[in-house]
Structure 1
Amino acid sequence: MSRNSTPNLFKALNPPAQGERFDTLLSHRNLVIERIVSGADIQPVEYVQPQDEWVLLVQGAAVMDVAGIRTVLGAGDYLFLPAGTPHRVESCEPGTLWLAIHLHPE
C-alpha cells in the first residue's frame, strides 16, 4: 500500500456549520469506529445507546453531561460510556475531533 492511499484521521476534517459529522472508519462484526467532527453550533442531543462506547477527544475541547455529571474534556481525555449511560455534548470548540469506539452486543 502506498503512503498516498493510507487513510488519515486528520484529513478532510471540514467541520460542519451546525452539529456534528460522524464518519465511520471501520465497521467489523460488532465493532464500529467513528471519527466525529464538531461544528461551531452544537445543539445538545442526549444519547442513550444499547452499546458500550469509548470516546477520545483528539483535539479541541468540550463540555459533556454524562449521567448528570458535568465533564470538561481537553485533548487526550477519554471516557468509557457503558451501554445505557445518558450523555450529551453541551458545548465544544469548533472543529473538535473525537474518536469513538462502539462495541455492540453480539
Structure 2
Amino acid sequence: METSNLFNDTATPEEGERFDTILNHKNLLIERIISSAAITPHEYIQAQDEWVLLMRGKADLRVEGKLHALKEGDHIFLPAGVPHKVERASDGAMWLAIHLHPEQCEDR
C-alpha cells in the first residue's frame, strides 16, 4: 500500500478546474479538485450521488437555483440528478469530492 498527501502537488490551473483521482474502486470515486478564480460556470446533472467538502478557499455553489456561499470546512450532499454549478471560487480553492455511482465507475 502507498500513502500520499492531499496537500501535495496543489498547483492551481490558469483557468477552470483540475480533477485528480484519489481513489477509484468499484462504484466509489474520490477526487481532489483544484479551482482557479477564472472559472466558467458549468451546470452538472450527474447520474451519481456526490458529497463535496471545501478544504481550502471560498466558493459559491448554486444547487437547484439556491446559492450556497461556502468557506473552508463546509460540505454538502448532492443527490443524483440535482443540477449544480460552481459560480465562483477563490484561486486555489481545493475540494474533496466523493462520488457514489449506481454501478462500477471508470476513471475520468
- TM-score of Structure 1 vs Structure 2, range by shorter chain: over 0.9
Identify the residue that residue 80 of structure 2 maps to in structure 1: 83
Where do 5+ consecutive residues of structure 1 fail to align?
Answer: none
Query: 96, 99, 104: which one pairs with 2:96?
Result: 99
Could you tell me which runs of 5 or more consecutive residues in structure 2 were left unpaired when the two chains were aligned. Answer: 104-108
Q: Separation in 2 of the partners of 1:39 and 1:69?
A: 22
- Out of 50, 54, 65, the residue aligned to residue 53 of structure 1 is 50
SS in 1 for 2:15: coil
TM-score (norm 1): 0.94
- When the two chains are superposed, the root-mean-square deviation of aligned CA atoms in Å is 1.0
State the alpha-carbon separation in 2 of the partners of residues 52 and 83 from structure 1: 4
Contact 1:63–1:70 at 8 Å: present in 2 too? Answer: yes
Matched pairs, number: 103
One-letter code of the match for 1:60?
A: G
Deviations 1:24-71 (A, max 9, x none): 000000000000000120100100000000000001000011000011
Q: 2:18 aligns with which of 21, 35, 57?
A: 21
Runs of 4 or more, structure 1, over 3 Å off, are: none
Q: Distance in 1 between matches of 2:3 and 2:49?
A: 28
Q: Is the 8 A contact 1:16 1:40 kept in 2?
A: no
Determine the structure 2 residue equivalent to 1:42.
39
Mapped to 2, the partners of 1:6 and 1:102 lie a distance apart of: 21
